[in-house]
Amino acid sequence: MALDWVVADEEYGRAGHFLDELESLEQRYVVEVPVTTAVWTADPAGCVPAYSGRGRVPTAPSRDAVRTVAALAAELPGPAWKVLRVREGAVGPLVFEFAAVRVWAMRHRKPGPSAWLLIRRSLEAAPEVKYYVSNADAETPIATLALVACARCRVEEFFEDCKSYLGMTQYETRSWVGWHHHMTLVGLAHLFVTLTRRRLQRQVPELTLDRTVRLLEAALEEPELRSPRAVLLVEYHVHRNKVAKASHDKTWKKKHWGVKYLRL
């Protein structure tokens, strides 16, 4: 099955054989890498020292253009960074600074293929910085790289949803069979809630999984749920959501006063 993109954390980013395999399959990826990852800032083929006429003819590139991703990020000028809003979060918009630089990868301690180095920096005074490499085309816009890189957090959100609302961690089993039964039920519950949410979101875009679960719980308590009562339940949760969102947005703007960003 062909995938549009593959995303992964830095444990996979440090595995050169994993990236080699993705490239052999012509699979596009945006993979997080450790802060100590080294890259070439210039084409290694052009970094081979000229032959002096003595000794062996040089074949290995010099390491003058080698930088760690952290050092390269620290050298970037202000205009290299773009402030982008990835999406709406639970407590306000998710906004980060991004920079993208064309580099040459170091693979198995040898020069690797050309790649994108994507850097994501939070807006705090002591920012959290993440680094990613990608084999996307050189024409790929930074907005696309940023959007793909931040898609991985959705998987973590699914786990949090299952733990918080669907009982993923509430099991007492003594066998793998029992554990698999429990996880299967949690998965089916998540699928049911997700499909319910998708159907309702056509009319009520503000309906999140949390509000969907609350709505279903309220509906199940009704001896007979008729349309007027169902509409009142939806309107109640939507109104609460608008009030909470307005409060979160106000807090975010106060904390990040003057920050302007582009929406993805």
Is residue 237 situated within a structural domain? yes
Is residue 80 situated within a structural domain? yes
The widest CA-to-CA distance across the chain, in whole angstroms, is 93
Residues contacting 79, CB < 8 A, separation 6+? none
**The pLDDT of residue 197:** 75
Do 64 and 103 share a domain, yes or no?
Answer: yes
Mean pLDDT in consecutive groups of 10 residues from the start of the chain, 264 residues: 83 94 94 94 77 69 84 94 84 88 90 93 91 96 93 81 88 88 92 80 69 75 78 78 82 82 78
Do 127 and 84 share a domain, yes or no?
Answer: yes
Give the CB-side neighbour count of residue 173, counting CA atoms within 13 A: 13
What are the helix (H) ranges across 133-226?
A: 142-149, 153-165, 176-201, 209-221
Q: CA 185, 152, 187 angle in degrees (round to 5)? A: 5
CATH number for the domain harbouring residue 32: 3.90.350.10
Do 112 and 77 share a domain, yes or no?
Answer: yes
Which range of residues forms the domain containing residue 187? 175-258
pTM: 0.76
Sign of dihedral through CA atoms 207, 208, 214, 217? Answer: positive
Do 19 and 131 share a domain, yes or no?
Answer: yes
Q: Answer for the pair 123, 256: CB distance below 8 angstroms, yes or no.
A: yes
Tokens representing 20?
Answer: 């080699």
Sign of dihedral through CA atoms 12, 15, 18, 19? Answer: positive
Residues contacting 80, CB < 8 A, separation 6+? 99, 101
